[in-house]
Structure 1
Amino acid sequence: MNQIPTKEQILAWLADHPGEGAKRDIARAFGIKGAAKIELKRILREMAEEGTVARRRRSFRDSAKLPPVSVLRLTGPDGAGDQWAEAPEWEGEGDPPTILFLPRKGDPALAEGDRILARMTEATGQGYDYEARLIRVIGQAAQKIVGIFRKTAEGGRIAPIDKGDSKEWLVPPGATLDARDGELVEAEQSGPKARLGLPRARVIQRIGDPTAPRAVSLIAIHQHGIPDDFPNAVMAEADAAKPAPLDGREDLTGLPFVTIDPADARDHDDACLVLPDDDPANEGGFLLWVAIADVAHYVTPGSALDREARKRGNSTYFPDRVVPMLPDRLSGDLCSLHEGVTRPVIAVRMKVDSAGNKRAHRFTRAMIRSAGSLEYAQVQDAHEGRPDAQCEPLRDTVIEPLYGCYAALKRSRAARQPLDLDLPERQIVIDDAGKVSSVRFKERLDAHRLIEEFMVLANVAAAEELERLRRPLLYRVHEEPAADKIEALREVAQASGFTLAKGQVLKTAHLNRLLAQAEGSEFDELVNLSTLRAMTQAYYAPQNLGHFGLALRSYAHFTSPIRRYSDLIVHRALITAHHWGKDGLSAFDIEVLEETAKLISEAERRSMAAERDTTDRYLAAYLADRVGSTFSGRISGVQKFGIFVKLDETGADGLVPVRSIGREFYHYDPDAQQLIGADSGLTIGIGQRVLVKLAEAIPVTGGLELELLEIDGNALPAPGKGKGGRKPFAPGRRMAAVKARERGLARKVKRSRKKP
């Protein structure tokens, strides 16, 4: 066959042979040889100019379709967990095709922005155009940078705001986005990483003046990639929401529930009530009600609200703002249990005996009307005999029963022995101008503790209820500490003169005995901090691995679905288990439960990092005017490069670089967490009291650099004057001898600190 095919025949053949688009493939298929190939080349060129085929190097394909093997860019998962991709080189007319990426078991982990080579399969009747399977990864997502832009003649440079990152980025002239000098920008890496010279970046967003009021939290939001704008579809769903009807719900509006929250709380998602139990079999017992806003009624599976909430995972709290999980129409209105307003809830009624043990519980989907929106200090004052006008009519019938039930729960807590850490929480107060007006430690009242105990018991009831009904759920998991972390804690305890039991299964009671030994001593804060650092990080999982810190077998978050997606999943599970409606746990929710647990655990860690960085930056701004001042503090960490000091006044953490501590070599002992002066024998370790001078405070990074003046009330040894008049340490001395000497010093220090 040497007949030249028509354009229609060529298109039909390309559709049937998607992997064979080279000119020689077409010629071979139609039997074209010799001079006839010139005519075929002309026809293919015409088809390319007309747009009916697309030319890729030496092959042709139908321009309305993607080739069977394509380069894709991942655009990230949606709220349902599906991973989507786009074809950057799409050349067809109309909208680019929608591509669902289907990872297989064993595929490497991929992130939004990664470029892959994928095998494409057309999809019909699926709501998308193609399914893609990974062949190989060809490029990772571009690194993001948040920093200060400095204009130069060659474009500009970006100085990152991360404390540990001093590397600048070069911005070419056409990639500055017209950023001004000194402006805070977000940028991404452009081009491959340079082996020599500065890496290149392009500005993708101008954030604004880094010194503007409330810019500190905005920096953290961009730096950690926290979503802070709700899509239009989410806002439209929230705005269209209507108050829930009573239909099918238990009417509890006649019971005097109250909410107890901080003075600045905007939402009230939990209410409680305690009644005496008239059951003769439970003499001296209580009926404890905990009612939680029924967020599941408004945020239904698969909705835009649901997808966005799953993506955010939780609300993020900064000193100057909140980035909520749900729009204010829900979190501040329809799902907030305001005083005197009828609101839908999922409530649990718990029978508690006089010893604080939960004997039974019952869940219900109900309607309540709060009898009072109260504050912690206000409730505490009423209990102590100083009720205000709002609390006076509630004191005997509502407030005092709360404290009665709490007293019983304290007895149960004492028997259970959850971890009893005593670490004061800082509160940064921001004035109207967006500046830090004060830093103080929050007061812990019994009013705080009773709400915490009520919520813990309700969370336990939720986990036990779903286990009883054999329904899937998300547990809040806290695994026991690793053996090496406990051994490090044991060394800190011994160096402080205390003991931590060895050779038995670790329980929270053992740690509590250690904390009790340190209470009131100079090592109190050190032992509490070291115990906290020994703990593993809690996370969410569909498997029940227990909660070590609370000493509980089964624990699930149920009490705050306004700000935690995990709680919303538990609410849906309860709805399904009790057949309360069609807005319960969906089949898809169950299918992706493992993935959801991972997603929201990562979101929680992201929020914690952003909140911590924001606190550091506000503290650095607060102390910036006091550079040169002296502060007392305690060593909270030791590393090879220096020591970390927690300041008494503000709780801020600063770094004393090892290079600034005298003029001798310091050996770092990672096991004992000590720096030991090779010449003077000076030993610097966690928990020692110090006097420091503030050398530098950098608000944009949150960094504090300190100068060490005194340790345990003693001035530092004079440079070059060691014990016995020895000469300074000689760097060329054999390291084995140095380590042997330093190990002996460490043992001597430990023995000297032990109590007789």
Structure 2
Amino acid sequence: MSDKEQTASGFSRETLIEAIKLGAGSFDKRGIARALGLKTGEQKHLLKQALGGLEAEGVIRRDDQRNYALAGELPAVCVVEITGRDIDGELLAQPARAEGKVPLIRLAPGQGAGGRGEAALGVGDKALVRLAVDDEGGYEARLIRKLGHSVQKILCVLRKPAKGPYRLVPVDRRSRHELVPAKGESDKANDGELVVCELAKERRNGLKTATILEVLGDVNSPGAGSVIALHSHGVPMGFADQEMREAETIASAKRQGREDLRDLPLLTIDPEDAKDHDDAVWAAADTDAKNEGGWIVMVAIADVAAYVTPGSALDRGAFKRGNSVYLPDRVVPMLPERLSNDLCSLREGEERPCLAVRMVFDRHGNKKSHKFLRGWMKSAAKLSYNDAQAAIDGNGNAKANALLDTVLRPLWSAYAALCVARARREPLEIDSPERRVQVGADGKVTGIELRERFDAHRLIEECMIQANVCAAETLEERRVPLIYRVHEEPSREKIDALADYLPNVGLKWTRGDKIATSRFNHLLKQAKGGEHYETVNEVVLRSQSQAVYHTVNQGHFGLHLQRYAHFTSPIRRYADLTVHRALIRALNLGDDGQSDEERSRLTSIAEEITQLERRAMAAERDAVDRFVALYLADHVGGEFPGRITGVTRFGAFVRLAATGADGLVPISRLGEERFVHDDRAHALIGEQTGGRYRLGMIVSVRIEEATPITGGLLLDMVTEAEPGPRPKRGTGRSAPAAGRTGGRPWKKGKRR
């Protein structure tokens, strides 16, 4: 824009950019003209030219509503996805449609935390938020509303009050107000039943009305927690008629053209309650004199690609689901049961098609070669992890003992060699215990147990990792595009937060040194055996990036591998199915491999299945929360030991030791004095006494409220605060929150 044009237009380049910045994505061309006070046709013509020039330079951009914003800046209102928590437990997010460098977004204190009868936001959830730039160039987000699978459909419970008409009470309180059934709608369901609703015509005054689209059953029935979780996150249940027709009429695969592996004693090792078996393993000493002490390991995977072909109804349905979803009382499979539990399942003693990789390792666990083949196998046995481990430990049952010398001991010996190479590679070794909700035949929770991990688990895991690496290497060598499993190294912001925290527990992180898995492992070893070990594990885990699917290889940081793809679970993950098809095409193993159309869509497929994986994780987490809340509802008023896993400006998150359940102690329940959040000390500190509740502190809490319908757990602090120096007024990084004596919940303070 020349000086003459500036004079004629009445605005300069700088004022135009400032106006766009002021609009923050809410101004279209007309809004900018109004902001600049432009009225004449000539001024508006020059504005159009100037906007076109700035857009061509990449200084500004337009969104789907044709509003302008500075390139690299986010609009004032946008959809975000919750990606994790920082060390203090505050929610982190990124734009749902992230492009280029992803900015750091923190939810403002209290936003998305849930409360009485209100579901909290969790990793994988999406929300509509209003953004504001914070003091450090990132963004602070304030929640407008949580987004489920549809903003028009609402999951409710039909309630008949003691007085007045029926009400529809939203389950996740996405709408803050109850709804009224439209005329005649209350006849569709009974009091206390879960229903899917849709808003009807708006009322100018009073409550909004809704129509009932579907009745899901009694909210207090066993399994209601799973139904709510699945519907809340939009996980599709059931299969389309066309999918079922294809599944029921599909012909069994033929042995012709496949390598015969039936004489090889491949076996499956899975959890005791597994219904589908998509991987089998076998190992033997290598007889090649040039590889003395070496091992041959075979990993055979169910050949799902033989049944689910590109573009079929089964393929479209599998892509729509992205993966199977595993809840405490049920599995929502990616494929119909005829495939997942029958034709594609490597059942004991039954012949099945497979895609296998034969790997050769030396005695130090270094891979010397590998080869993929399309085979025809018959599983020699189905063992559980417990069965296999017990046999190795000398306590096996007859079935496992019969395989001890011929199959199990060779597998363990091969695994010992792989462990040597794994130790040199040094993947991330976070100790993250997994708890399992036990559900009885009647659908009620009978207990919550810690899952034991044996060498049997680690053996299968390492075999699968090696097979996944082989798949990525083969496709790269053949220059065939594929979907990688990518895990980037932690962001600088998360590393800085970790480095800030560690001195509080007597540890340190040198910021200038290279980020490597070995440094994290050394940190965990330093903490092991001490009182802060669990907390250090937690904060190291929170510092990691989330794994994604991507067509551009960026390596797998956690496993410390240069290339990695998912190949070993095509029954339950769509990503693995795409890798199978790519291998079939690359190695000329059949005419049912990767199609040109699928190849052209790999990038969008990777983006979609990443989101679907997070949707499944969120649904699984929510279902567990609801089942645990149901279990703990009988213990309201009871006191339990736990550990503080997060401190925020609105309270402390506590994980109960016995169940692993996470609950919130609101800041108003910490005592009679006012508490402030000290983000450097990662603690809530009393203004008068200096008493503190810090991250990692062992405490006792009382269950004040357990709400199965939302999975909410409200706790009351029993343990007295640890003594500490009284904070100097005005030195805290976070402003005070109200205690029982009243006052403002918080003031806006400087964010880290």
Under TM normalisation by the shorter chain, which class is it? 0.7 to 0.9
Other-structure match for 1:355: 364
State the Cα deviation string for residues 588-634 of structure 1 (Å, max 9, x = none). Answer: 10111111111111111111011101111111111111111111110
Other-structure match for 2:467: 458
Contact persistence 2:302–2:345 (CA under 8 A): yes
- Relative distance call for 1:169 and 1:679 in structure 2 (3 A) is farther
Q: Does 1:519 align with 2:528?
A: yes
Other-structure match for 2:229: 220
Q: How does 1:300-449 map to 2 (within 5 A)?
A: 300-449=309-458
Q: Secondary structure at the match of 1:517?
A: helix
> Residue 553 of structure 1 aligns to which amino acid in structure 2?
Q
Equivalent of residue 161 in structure 1, options 171, 175, 188: 171
- Relative distance call for 1:476 and 1:401 in structure 2 (3 A) is same
Q: Does 1:608 align with 2:623?
A: no
Contact persistence 1:168–1:198 (CA under 8 A): yes
Contact persistence 1:269–1:560 (CA under 8 A): yes
> Residue 445 of structure 1 aligns to which amino acid in structure 2?
F
Q: Secondary structure at the match of 2:512?
A: coil
State the Cα deviation string for residues 119-151 of structure 1 (Å, max 9, x = none). Answer: xxxxxxxxxxxxxxxxxxxxx964332122223
Other-structure match for 1:68: none
Other-structure match for 1:209: 218
Q: Secondary structure at the match of 2:438?
A: strand
Other-structure match for 1:236: 245
Higher relative contact order (CA 8 A, sep 6+): 2
Q: 1:198: Cα distance to partner?
A: 4.6
Other-structure match for 1:590: 599
Other-structure match for 2:36: none
Q: Secondary structure at the match of 2:482?
A: coil
Q: 1:556: Cα distance to partner?
A: 0.2
Q: Secondary structure at the match of 1:574?
A: helix
Contact persistence 2:448–2:659 (CA under 8 A): yes
Between the aligned partners of 2:698 and 2:264, the Cα distance in structure 1 is: 54
Q: How does 1:85-104 map to 2 (within 5 A)?
A: none
Equivalent of residue 640 in structure 1, options 649, 653, 662: 649
Between the aligned partners of 2:374 and 2:409, the Cα distance in structure 1 is: 27
Q: Secondary structure at the match of 2:371?
A: strand
| Bigger Cα displacement from structure 2, 342-351 vs 274-283 | 274-283
- Relative distance call for 1:469 and 1:419 in structure 2 (3 A) is same
Q: Secondary structure at the match of 1:186?
A: strand
Equivalent of residue 271 in structure 1, options 258, 275, 280: 280
Q: Does 1:184 align with 2:194?
A: yes
Other-structure match for 1:739: 730
Other-structure match for 1:691: 700
Contact persistence 1:155–1:176 (CA under 8 A): no
Q: Does 1:284 align with 2:275?
A: no
- Relative distance call for 1:193 and 1:309 in structure 2 (3 A) is farther
Q: Secondary structure at the match of 1:680?
A: coil
Q: Secondary structure at the match of 2:497?
A: helix
Q: 1:669: Cα distance to partner?
A: 3.4
Between the aligned partners of 2:439 and 2:694, the Cα distance in structure 1 is: 35
Q: Secondary structure at the match of 1:649?
A: coil
Q: How does 1:17-36 map to 2 (within 5 A)?
A: none
Structure 2: where are the runs of 5+ without partners?
A: 1-98, 100-148, 737-752
Other-structure match for 1:547: 556
Other-structure match for 1:538: 547
Structure 1: where are the runs of 5+ without partners?
A: 1-104, 106-139, 724-728, 730-736, 746-756
Between the aligned partners of 2:665 and 2:569, the Cα distance in structure 1 is: 41
Between the aligned partners of 2:157 and 2:735, the Cα distance in structure 1 is: 48
Between the aligned partners of 2:489 and 2:710, the Cα distance in structure 1 is: 34
Q: 1:671: Cα distance to partner?
A: 5.1
TM-score w.r.t. the length of structure 2 is: 0.75
Q: 1:160: Cα distance to partner?
A: 2.4
- Relative distance call for 1:259 and 1:625 in structure 2 (3 A) is same
Contact persistence 2:182–2:200 (CA under 8 A): no
State the Cα deviation string for residues 672-710 of structure 1 (Å, max 9, x = none). Answer: 433222222122221111111111111111111111011
Q: Secondary structure at the match of 1:173?
A: coil
- Report runs of 4+ in structure 1 exceeding 6 Å deviation: 742-745
- Relative distance call for 1:535 and 1:176 in structure 2 (3 A) is farther
Q: 1:181: Cα distance to partner?
A: 2.1
Q: Does 1:470 align with 2:461?
A: no
> Residue 611 of structure 1 aligns to which amino acid in structure 2?
E
Between the aligned partners of 1:741 and 1:574, the Cα distance in structure 2 is: 58
Contact persistence 1:689–1:711 (CA under 8 A): no
What is the RMSD computed on CA atoms of the aligned residues?
2.4
Other-structure match for 1:492: 501
Between the aligned partners of 1:296 and 1:407, the Cα distance in structure 2 is: 33
Q: 1:466: Cα distance to partner?
A: 0.3
Contact persistence 1:163–1:701 (CA under 8 A): no
> Residue 179 of structure 1 aligns to which amino acid in structure 2?
A
- Relative distance call for 1:385 and 1:641 in structure 2 (3 A) is same
Contact persistence 1:540–1:601 (CA under 8 A): yes
Q: 1:315: Cα distance to partner?
A: 0.2
TM-score w.r.t. the length of structure 1 is: 0.75
Between the aligned partners of 1:505 and 1:201, the Cα distance in structure 2 is: 57
Q: Does 1:678 align with 2:669?
A: no
Between the aligned partners of 1:744 and 1:619, the Cα distance in structure 2 is: 34
Other-structure match for 1:569: 578
Contact persistence 2:678–2:732 (CA under 8 A): no
Between the aligned partners of 2:513 and 2:203, the Cα distance in structure 1 is: 51
Q: 1:741: Cα distance to partner?
A: 5.8
Between the aligned partners of 1:543 and 1:180, the Cα distance in structure 2 is: 52
| Bigger Cα displacement from structure 2, 634-643 vs 321-330 | 634-643
Other-structure match for 1:23: none
State the Cα deviation string for residues 417-440 of structure 1 (Å, max 9, x = none). Answer: 111011110011111111111111
Number of residues of Structure 1 aligned to a counterpart in Structure 2: 588
Between the aligned partners of 2:701 and 2:571, the Cα distance in structure 1 is: 43
Between the aligned partners of 1:265 and 1:592, the Cα distance in structure 2 is: 33
Between the aligned partners of 2:514 and 2:202, the Cα distance in structure 1 is: 51
Q: 1:175: Cα distance to partner?
A: 4.6
State the Cα deviation string for residues 250-290 of structure 1 (Å, max 9, x = none). Answer: 11111111110111111111000001111222111100100
| Bigger Cα displacement from structure 2, 669-678 vs 543-552 | 669-678
- Relative distance call for 1:155 and 1:173 in structure 2 (3 A) is farther
Which structure: larger Rg? 1
Between the aligned partners of 2:632 and 2:732, the Cα distance in structure 1 is: 40
> Residue 436 of structure 1 aligns to which amino acid in structure 2?
V
Q: Secondary structure at the match of 2:403?
A: helix
> Residue 180 of structure 1 aligns to which amino acid in structure 2?
N
> Residue 245 of structure 1 aligns to which amino acid in structure 2?
K
